[in-house]
Amino acid sequence: MKIVIAPNAFKNSLPAAAVAAALEEGIRRSGYTGTLVCCPVGDGGDGTGSLLTQYLDAELLFADVADPLGRSVRASFGWVSKTKTAILEMADASGLRLLRPEEYDPLHASTLGCGQLIKAALDQGATELLLCIGGSATVDGGAGALSALGLQLYDRDGTLLSPLPVDLIRLHNIDRSRLDQRLHGITITILCDVKNHLLGEKGAAAVFGPQKGAGVREVLLLETALQQWRRIVLQTTGTDMDRLESSGAAGGMAAGLAAFCKVKIVDGIRYFLQKIGFEQELENTDWVITGEGAIDLQTLEGKAPFGVAAMAKQKGIPVIGIAGKLPDRVSPGLQAYFSWLLSINEQPLALEEAIRQTKSNLVRTGEKIGTALKNKA
C-alpha cells in the first residue's frame, strides 16, 4: 500500500511540513509498514513560498526591508539561478506574524517591504517572480509595494502622500514616470487562495480588515481609501481593479500590482501542485491524506485540501481529510471529494488549547488512520 500525506499548514499552529511529519509518525506507530510519501502543500497562503523554495531546490537570499509598520526586518526569497526565478513570500516582509496582536493597525500598515523585496529580486536579475500573498497585515491595495518600486502619490495640492490607507483617502494624482522600468520585462505570478474582489461587502476591507485589527470605523475608512485608490488608478491606467477576480486578496495587493505590472493571478493550489509534479507522485497511490485547520464549504472554493482531493479524485484515489474543525453536518459537496473526514480533536476544546495540542492530536489521528487502513488492506 502507498499513502501520500499532503496537508496544508494548520494556521497559527504548525507549518505544512510539520503536520505531514506528525501524521507520518502516528501512522508508523500503528504498525503500518507500507510506503509513505510526505508531500506538504500550499495554496498561496503563509508558508507557500518556503515550500516552493524547498521543492525547487532554490538558493535562499536575504534583504533588509521594512516590516508593515516601517521597522527594519531581515526577509528572504528563493532564487533559482537557472531560470532567473525569484520566489517571494509576502508575509516575510508585510506579514501579520511580524506584529504583536496589540500592534495590528491596517490603517497605518504598508506593503512597502514587499515592494522592497521585489526590488531586491530585480537587482538579482529576476525575469520571473512567484509571489505568495497570504498572511499579510495590510489593506493598502498594494500602494506601499508600488511606492517602493517608484510610484508616487499626490493629494489635490500636489503634496506627496505616503502610501498608507489613512492617506490614500486624499489621493488625487498618481505619477508612474519613475516606476522601475525592469517591471516591464518580468512576469509576476501571484498565487492566491481567495476570489474576493477589492471592494464591497465581500471585499478586502470588509472581509480581511477585521482579521488584521480593524474595527467597524476602521473598516469604513479602509473601504473609503480603497475606493479612492481604485478611482485614481482607473483614471491613470484605464484598469478597473475591482473587476479583477481575486483583486481583494492580501488587502488588495493583487489588484495594485495587476494595474501597473504584467501579472498573472493563478489558483494557488492548482499552480503549486503542477509546479511540484504532484500528479506524478500520485502514481500507484492507494490513499491520500490532506487537511488544514478547518475544512468546510469554503474549502471547496480553492483551498489546498480541495485542490489535492480534486486531483486525487480524477485518478480514482480515495481521500482522507483531517482538520481541527469540521462542520456539524458534512455537505454533499464535501462528501463528493472526501471519503473520510476526521477531526483531530476528540472533544471540543478552546481554540488556544486546541492549537497547543495540535501536534499530539495529529500523531494520535495518524495512528488511528494507520490502524484503519491496515485493516482495509
**Cβ-count burial of 199 within 10 angstroms (0-12 exposed, 13-18 middle, 19+ buried)?**
buried
Task: Let me know whether 170 and 224 are in one domain.
Answer: yes
Half-sphere exposure of 101 (CA within 13 A, CB side): 3
DSSP classification of residue 286: S
The three grid cell numbers given for residue 178, joined into one nine-digit string: 519613475
Euclidean distance between CA atoms 93 and 48, whole angstroms:
14
Q: Is the pLDDT of residue 356 over 80?
A: yes
Please state, in angstroms and rounded to a whole number, the distance separating the CA atoms of residues 30 and 24. Answer: 10
> How confident is the prediction for the chain on average, in pLDDT?
95
Per-residue pLDDT, 51: 97
Q: Same domain for 152 and 198? A: yes
Same domain, 171 and 104: yes
Q: Which of 246, 247, 242 is nearest to 228 (CA)?
A: 242
How many CB atoms are closer than 10 A to CB 352?
A: 9
User: Do 150 and 112 touch, CB atoms closer than 8 A?
Assistant: no
- Tens digit of each residue's pLDDT (9 = 90 or more) over 25-80: 999 999 999 999 999 999 998 899 999 999 999 999 999 999 999 999 999 999 99
- Last-in-domain residue among 269, 304, 319: 269
CB 20 within 8 A of CB 358: no
Cα-Cα-Cα-Cα dihedral sign, residues 108, 109, 111, 113? positive
pLDDT for residue 5 is more than 70: yes
Question: Mean pLDDT over residues 151-168, rounded?
Answer: 97
Looking at the structure, tell me whether residues 265 and 282 fall in a common domain.
no
| pLDDT at residue 377 in the model | 65
Whether 169 and 153 share a structural domain: yes
CB 84, CB 125: distance < 8 Å: yes
Strand, helix or coil for residue 289: strand
Residues 211 and 325 in one domain: no
Task: Answer yes or no: do 150 and 293 share one domain.
Answer: no
Dihedral angle at the C-alpha atoms of 136, 138, 141, 145, nearest 10 degrees?
-80
Local confidence band at 344 (pLDDT 50, 70, 90 cut-offs): very high
Please say if the pLDDT value at position 347 is more than 80.
no
**How many domains are contained in the chain?**
2
**256 and 143 Cβ atoms separated by less than 8 Å:** yes
Domain end position, chosen among 242, 269, 296: 269
13 and 110 both lie in a single domain: no
**Residues 96, 225 within the same domain:** yes
Is residue 122 within 8 A of residue 182, CB to CB? The reply is yes
pLDDT at 354 over 80: no
Instruction: Give the confidence band of 127 by pLDDT, cuts at 50, 70, 90.
Output: very high
pLDDT (0 to 100) of residue 352: 80
The CATH number of residue 185's host domain is 3.90.1510.10
Q: How many Å apart are CA 330 and CA 306, to the nearest integer?
A: 14
Same domain, 139 and 183: yes
pLDDT at 302: 85
pTM: 0.93
Q: Which of 248, 269, 290 finishes a domain?
A: 269
Average pLDDT over residues 318-322: 97
Which residue range forms the structural domain that includes residue 253?
A: 48-269
Q: Where are the beta strands (DSSP E) in the chain?
A: 2-5, 35-38, 59-66, 72-80, 85-89, 128-132, 152-154, 173-175, 187-192, 263-267, 287-294, 319-325, 340-343
318 and 223 share one domain = no
Q: Are residues 355 and 210 in the same domain?
A: no
Give the CATH number, domain containing residue 321: 3.40.50.10350
11, pLDDT greater than 90: no
Q: State the average pLDDT over residues 67-95.
A: 97
Instruction: Give tens-digit pLDDT for 192-231.
Output: 988 899 999 999 999 999 999 999 999 999 999 999 999 9
β-pairing, 319-325 vs 340-343, is parallel
Grid cell listed for 226: 480603497
